[in-house]
A and B are shown apart, each in its own frame.
Chain A
Amino acid sequence: MVASAIAFFVVFGMVPPLIKALNRKSWAVKDVNRVGGAMVPRPGGPAILAGIITAEISLYFLLPQEKIITRGITALLITTSAAFVIGFIDDRRVMGGWFKPLALVGAAIPIIALGAYEPNLAFPLFGEVKIPALYLGLIIFMIPITGNTINSIDVMNGIASGFMMIASFSLAVVLFIMQNYSVAIMTLPIAFTSLAFFRYHRFPAKIFPGDSGALTLGAAYGVIAIVGRVEVIAAIALLPAIINSFLFLSSVKKIVEHRQIKGPTTHTEDYKITATKELDAPVTLVRLIVAAKPLTEKEIGFVVFRLAIFSGILAIITAFASGVVVWPSS
């Protein structure tokens, strides 16, 4: 609870001065979905990173000095910091579509170097498979996937932080159910960091997390999934964001920076958000949500949060079902 409180109050206290500092530097972007297009400071990534880092460092000293905890927290600190740097570079200077996935592969290396993983992949209901070589590939892919997936859902006020808050709390519950208490406690700072940041990011947003904030949250979530050996269940909790990436990639058919493609949505006269009529615009989760009728930004946020809660419940059901082994593994 101490670490969670640290994470919450560091972010809660750090964001207001960060907003002032970003405004002084004119580091702000236009909120295209708001009437009049207000300028919103970005990135909030430094506050998100500070919340996670201070909380996890305190956990390093508070939790028992077991191998999984010390190595896990060290890997989380290094990988998350590296993801932040990658995102920050992209915030300041728009890089190509391949930059973030490739750079995040590098951010995943400390997990392997520190040995903060078990090379067995656990499949709910069916047991584990030993895949020592393949598992290294899974680690290399996991961090770019979780990082970019959260980044790609950061399209409207409050969605990325609110979604991560729900997914992280769900993952913490999953880890508690699976009696992996230490890693569950390591997950809570991510949830409380997201909760504190959501206070400022929700509609109407006072700050945007930017790529640095979204990648930091996504990478931290990915490390927890690996260290906690809940890769599959963690992916289930992220399903709405994964669907968003899947829809986008299957309609665009290439990895491309989202700023380089046509917007999947547009505005009605009363400034509600509606699906674009452009046939070559990508299909995204938000485009599907507003396909039937235009919605306000706030209403879209609530739909995404309902989807996140639904996926979180599926993840928790899966965790409970994991105790029932349908097919004993050898």
Chain B
Amino acid sequence: MAQLLIFTFIGIMWILILAGGGILVTLVSKISISGYGEQMDFFVASLIKAAIALLLVAFWVILLSKLKNKIFQKQINT
């Protein structure tokens, strides 16, 4: 049973990786800024994209941490 939970956790991580990539490609990479000049637009858009990507990573880690506690609660408490 404990081993099955580890396989499940790996499967969930796999899905989260694919989903995270999907969000980055379909939403975050489309962000564009205009009105500050060509160089500055690119720079500001890159900053916003980087910030969102970092937030997504932080969210991903928190989500995994919660999942870990839920899935392995019994094992961790032994």
Residues of A near any B CB (own CB < 8 A): 123-131, 133-134, 232, 235-236, 239-240, 242-243, 246-247, 250, 275, 283, 285, 287-289, 291-292, 303, 306-307, 310-311, 314, 318, 326-327, 329-330
Contacts and interface: CB of A to CB of B under 8 A. Distances in A.
5 contacts: A134-B50, A246-B68, A292-B2, A326-B22, A329-B25
- Name the 9 nearest CB pairs between A and B, nearest first: A123-B21, A291-B75, A126-B25, A292-B2, A129-B29, A126-B22, A314-B14, A327-B26, A239-B10
Contacts of B72: 283, 288, 291
Contact of A127 (B2, B25, B28, B65): B25
Contact of B2 (A133, A243, A291, A329): A291
A314 B22 contact: no
Given A239-B13, A247-B68, A330-B30, A289 B21 contact: no
Interface of B: 1-3, 5-7, 9-11, 13-14, 17-18, 21-22, 24-26, 28-30, 46, 49-50, 53, 61, 64-65, 68, 72, 74-76, 78
B6 A243 contact: yes
A322 B74 CA distance: 37
B18 to A, nearest CB: 6
A330 B24 CA distance: 13
Contacts of B13: 239, 242-243
A62 to B, nearest CB: 35
A289 B49 CA distance: 39
A58 B50 CA distance: 40
B34 to A, nearest CB: 16
Nearest to A279: B77
A-side interface mostly: helix
Given A235-B17, A236-B14, A307 B6 contact: yes
Nearest to A240: B10
A129 B17 contact: no
A307 B2 CA distance: 13
Contacts of A232: 17, 21
A315 to B, nearest CB: 9
A291 B78 contact: yes
Contacts of B46: 131, 133-134
Given A123-B22, A247-B68, A314-B11, 18 more contacts: A125-B21, A126-B26, A131-B46, A133-B46, A134-B46, A232-B17, A232-B21, A239-B14, A246-B68, A289-B3, A292-B3, A311-B10, A318-B14, A318-B18, A327-B22, A329-B25, A329-B29, A330-B30
